[in-house]
Structure 1
Amino acid sequence: MMRPSLNDLTAFVAVATHRSFRRAADELGTAPSTLSHAMRGLEDRLGVRLLNRTTRSVAPTEAGLELLNRLQATLSSLDEALDAVSAFRGQVAGTVRVNAPRVAAAALVRDVLLRMAERFPDVTVDIVVENRLIDIVSGGFDAGVRLVGSIPKDMIAVPLARPIQFVCVASPSYLDCAGEPKTPEELQHHRCIGHRMPSGRLYRWEFERAGQELTIDVTGPAVLDDEDLMVEAAMQGLGIAYVPNWVAEAALAEGRLRTVLSSWMQGSEAVAVYYPGHRAVPPALRAFLDVVRDVRQIK
């Protein structure tokens, strides 16, 4: 049997992981038809079907899943070996793939990326914005960003510079018209901008003061799943929004929004970059983590 090429095996992993010739082709910079032809050639050489194909989907067979599981670990080790060698060039290079929710991605853009570009010009930080929790290892990411409390125990966490403090905000025009709530219970008489979580459920607003904790179900004219849009809706006078302070700070500084119920807001929550603790850290990821730590010290 002729040994398959590394390119064909890499292409198979991309197709089997994405379960799509089109998405795999986008990742590899080739045409879906080229990938399809390569997969048929790979199956012919191995003498076994690796992929079940229909007009709408692609899924690995039992043999394909076995090969995928083994190849992922092998290719990861190969990448680590190549990254280790790259350090001898004296210039760190490569790509760091990071999965982060939108608010944390904005913090990376604001606080980290410029310093990365200045210190490590040959490193590309590829940020994928995704609000749902995922397995970064199986997703092919080098690192993720999440609240510290939601990071798996087998990961190593490096805190970001600024923790998240949630705030309730509304426009001056809305508050002049509707009045300012003095307690969380009074939100029942206000228009509130709902927040839909990645799971699909509506977020229940959380408050705390002097040991008393409250969770409030709010109603209003709109439900959104993006914090920037919530801030924009609040600035337009649609109602009160409950958002991370990072998202609203510019509008608050400009006077386009005001905080309400400040004495009822919970304490800040730490946010961290995290990465697998059981594998070697590639030079590009190490450089990224060094910048994150430096930014934290500066802040």
Structure 2
Amino acid sequence: MKTPSTADLTIFLCIAQHLNFSRAAVELGLTPSALSHSLRALENRLGLRLFNRTTRSVALTEAGARLYARLKPAFRDIDDALEDLNNFRDKPSGNLRITAGRQACELVLLPIASEFLQDYADISLEIVESDAVLDIVAGGFDAGVRFGNRLEADMVSLPIGPNMRSMVVGSPSFFERHAPPQKPEDLHGVPCIRHRFPSGSMYRWEFERGGITQEIEVSGPLTLGDVSLMVGPALQGVGLAYVFEDMVTGHLADGRLIQVLANWCPYYPGLHLYYPSRRHVPAPLKAFIDFARSAREQSREGSFQ
């Protein structure tokens, strides 16, 4: 049996990671047909089928799964060895992939990333916007951004933004038609703008006061999949909206929106950068971690002046 090349095994690993020929082809810069041809050549060389594939799905065979389990840590060691060469550079270089929800991107990640890239011209940063809860390892991401109270225990995390809170807001015209709720239970029967997650489940509004927590399943005439889209309909009086404070500060100041249930909306841990607890952190990610930490410290110092 002729020993497969590193390129052949790289193609196998990429397909195994995505279980999707089109996504693997995009990542490797190949056409799906070229990718399929390379995989067939590898399987013929090994004398084994590595994937079961139909027009609808791609799945590893038992042999393919065992090969993937053995090759993945070995190639990770190779990547780590190459990453060590970044220690000899004045500034690190390479690719960095981060996933975050749209609000995380707008509120915290993009402002930090824009300044970061000015200092690290040799790093190419890709931000994949998704509100779905993703497995960053399986998805090929170096890191992700999520709220600190929703992180897996096996992840290393770093706060990159201040503590945050959500608010229930409505327009003056809305409150001309509806009495302001005094407690979370009063939301039942009041028109609200609902939020549906990418998974299909509906978000239940979260409240806390004096150690007592409540989750309210609201109803209303409008359901949206993006929190940032709720401000406009709230301004027009469609219903109450449950949004991040930073999204409505200006509207609250000029009286176009009114906050209710303020005593039930405390601050909670803000956005965190999180990444797998590995023995070796890639140089581009390490540079971003250090930059984000420094930016947060400077922001906190400025808030006390």
Rounded Cα–Cα distance in structure 2 between residues aligned with 1:84 and 1:36: 33
Q: Following the alignment from structure 1 to structure 2, what is the Cα–Cα distance between the partners of residues 291 and 64?
A: 40
- Could you report, residue by residue, the CA deviation over 1:125-183 in whole angstroms, capped at 9, with x for unpaired residues? 22222323333222221112222233222322111122231111223332344343333
Gaps of 5+ in 1: none
Which residue in 2 is equivalent to 1:127? 127
Sort the Cα spacing of 1:159 and 1:109 in 2 relative to 1 into closer, same or farther, 3 A: closer
Aligned to 1:140: 140
Alignment partner, residue 29 of structure 2: 29
Structure 1 window deviating more from structure 2 (33-42 vs 257-266): it is: 257-266
The TM-score, its normalising length taken from structure 1, stands at 0.91
1:103–1:247: 8 Å Cα contact kept in structure 2? no
Alignment of 1:1-299 (within 5 A): 1-249=1-249, 251-252=251-252, 255-299=255-299
* SS, match of residue 156 in structure 1: strand
For residue 22 of structure 1, report the CA deviation from its aligned partner: 1.2
- Residue 292 of structure 1 deviates from its aligned partner by 1.0
Deviation at 1:285, TM superposition (A): 0.4
CA contact (8 A) 1:194 1:203 kept: yes
- Which secondary structure state, in structure 1, belongs to the residue aligned with residue 73 of structure 2? helix
What is the alpha-carbon distance in structure 1 between the residues aligned to residue 96 and residue 108 of structure 2? 13
Name the stretch that deviates more: 126-135 or 21-30.
126-135
Which residue identity is paired with 1:243?
V
Q: Which moved more, 1:30-39 or 1:62-71?
A: 62-71
The whole-number CA distance in structure 1 between the counterparts of 2:211 and 2:56 is 54
- Asked whether the equivalents of residues 98 and 144 of structure 1 are also in contact (C-alpha less than 8 Å), the reply is yes
Q: Which runs of 5+ in 2 are unaligned?
A: 300-305
The 2-side partners of 1:111 and 1:227 are apart by 19
Q: For the residues of structure 1 that align with 2:279 and 2:86, how far apart are their CA atoms?
A: 17
Number of the residue aligned with 2:303 = none
> Is the contact made by 1:103 and 1:246 (CA closer than 8 Å) also made in structure 2?
no
Q: CA deviation digits over 1:5-50, x for unaligned, max 9?
A: 2222111112222222111111111110000100011111111111
Aligned 8 A contact 2:18 2:139 in 1: no
Q: Which stretch of the first structure deviates more once superposed, 188-197 or 39-48?
A: 188-197
Distance 1:252 1:134 in 2: 34
Amino acid at match of 1:67: L
Residue 281 to residue 254, structure 1, CA distance change in 2 (3 Å): farther
- Alpha-carbon distance in 1 for matches of 2:6, 2:108: 34
The alignment yields a C-alpha RMSD, in angstroms, of 2.1
Secondary structure of the corresponding residue to residue 288 of structure 2: helix
Q: Where does residue 302 of structure 2 map in the other structure?
A: none
Q: CA–CA distance in 2 between the matches of 1:27 and 1:235?
A: 42
CA pair 43-250 structure 1, distance change in 2 beyond 3 A: farther
The percentage of counterpart residues that share the same residue type is 43
Greater alpha carbon shift after TM alignment, 284-293 vs 127-136: 127-136
Partner Cα separation in structure 2 for residue 240 and residue 94 of structure 1: 45
Which residue identity is paired with 2:161?
A: A
Q: Aligned partners of 1:168 and 1:245: how far apart in 2?
A: 9
Letter in 2 for 1:156: V
- Tell me, in whole angstroms, the C-alpha distance in 2 between the residues paired with 1:114 and 1:161: 15
What is the TM-score when the length of structure 2 is the normalising length?
Answer: 0.89
The whole-number CA distance in structure 1 between the counterparts of 2:194 and 2:40 is: 49
Write the distance in 2 (CA, Å) between the matches of 1:170 and 1:76: 51
Work out whether residues 184 and 216 of structure 2, in 8 Å CA contact, stay in contact via their aligned partners in 1. Answer: yes
Per-residue deviation, 1:212: 4.0
